[in-house]
Amino acid sequence: MAEDAARRDLVLYGRRLYEKGFVAATDGNLSARLAEGGFLATPTGLPKGELAEGLMARLDSEGRPASGKPSSEWPMHLAIYRARPDVGAVVHAHPPFATALACAGRGLDGAVLSEVIISLGTVPLAPFALPSTEGLAERVASSLGDHSAVLLANHGAVTVGPDVRSAYYRMETLEQASRIQLYADLLGGGRPLPEQAVQALRGLGEGYALAPLPCPACEGCPVAAGEPGAVVLRRDELARLLAEFARGHGRR
Ligand SMILES: [Zn+2]
């Protein structure tokens, strides 16, 4: 992802994790692989409801901190990026229903709910390891394999995607499916779909993708139209320029 977009989305979807109750206090962490090389990760010790673009930790292309202090679960994110060159973003959270399944030692086999087969597939369970350790990083990356999501025994969940938005929405789908699984269990257990239906739904899933976010500024935007001299400014850059202008104006 481009760095500006990654900073914006890490803040947006980090806050959404908090607002949805998928994390409490300082739980959870998000990261993105940058198109220009290296990574951005949410900082350690900061509630996901209080993130800001300028507070992200920057990692070099080897995953070593270049500025800021990344989440203590950064080694788990890095292990996933090393194992999966297709992954552009990683989201880790403790959503209550998915975490309940993980605490009960269960994954989500994906053969009960049509939507899950289409958009998420099977969700394996990674064996328990102490949080923030290399052991956890290795187990999560190897259990994730080629899947889009993995449950962490007695801990929580990880989802991945080409960008932060996709990884976040997979976490929403995972939590919704886990909640339905639990209710179905209370009613005597979900009835698995016939194998033929599962195969057909998997076929549908291959063409299923989250539509790209339309940019509301694109229509009539001089940058998108390639007009010479047109520039894009982040809010903090604009604030800095206005402050400089105000200082210069004050001296006259
Ligand atoms: Zn955690």
Whether the CB-CB separation of 41 and 74 falls below 8 Å is answered with yes
**Percent of the chain at pLDDT above 90?**
66
CA 116 to ligand 1 center in whole angstroms: 23
CA 156 to ligand 1 center in whole angstroms: 6
CA 30 to ligand 1 center in whole angstroms: 11
* pLDDT of the residue at 228: 78
CA 127 to ligand 1 center in whole angstroms: 14
The 10s digit of each residue's pLDDT in 189-213 is 888 888 888 888 877 766 666 776 6
* pLDDT of the residue at 141: 96
Quote the strand ranges of 140-233, DSSP E.
Answer: 149-152, 156-161
Measured distance CA(77)–CA(96) in Å, rounded: 21
* pLDDT of the residue at 196: 87
pTM above 0.85, yes or no: no
* pLDDT of the residue at 20: 98
**Highest mean pLDDT range out of 64-78, 98-112, 115-129, 219-233?**
64-78
Mean of per-residue pLDDT scores for the chain: 90
CA 132 to ligand 1 center in whole angstroms: 8
Which letter, b or e, does each residue of 55-66 get, where b requires 16 or more Cβ atoms within 10 Å of its Cβ? ebbbbeeebeee
* pLDDT of the residue at 214: 62
> How is residue 248 written in tokens?
């210069």
Sign of the C-alpha dihedral computed for residues 237, 240, 246 and 247 taken in this order: negative
Instruction: Find out if CATH 3.40.225.10 is the number for domain 3-206.
Output: yes
* pLDDT of the residue at 110: 63
CA 27 to ligand 1 center in whole angstroms: 6
Worst-scoring range by mean pLDDT, 43-57, 93-107, 144-158, 219-233? 219-233
Is the model's pLDDT at 12 over the cut of 90? yes
192 or 223, which is more confident? Answer: 192
Whether the CB-CB separation of 127 and 116 falls below 8 Å is answered with no
* pLDDT of the residue at 195: 86
113 or 137, which is more confident? Answer: 137
* pLDDT of the residue at 222: 73
The 10s digit of each residue's pLDDT in 37-80 is 999 999 999 999 999 999 999 999 999 999 999 999 999 999 99
190 or 90, which is more confident? Answer: 90
Active site residue 73: yes
At residue 121 the predicted structure's pLDDT band, cuts being 50, 70 and 90, is confident
At residue 249 the predicted structure's pLDDT band, cuts being 50, 70 and 90, is confident
* pLDDT of the residue at 252: 59
Is the model's pLDDT at 215 over the cut of 70? no
Residue in the structure block whose two tokens are 């209080």? 50
> How is residue 34 written in tokens?
């940058």
> How is residue 102 written in tokens?
């993980």
* pLDDT of the residue at 95: 98
Residue range(s) in the chain whose domain bears CATH number 3.40.225.10: 3-206
Active-site residue, from 73, 206, 237, 244: 73
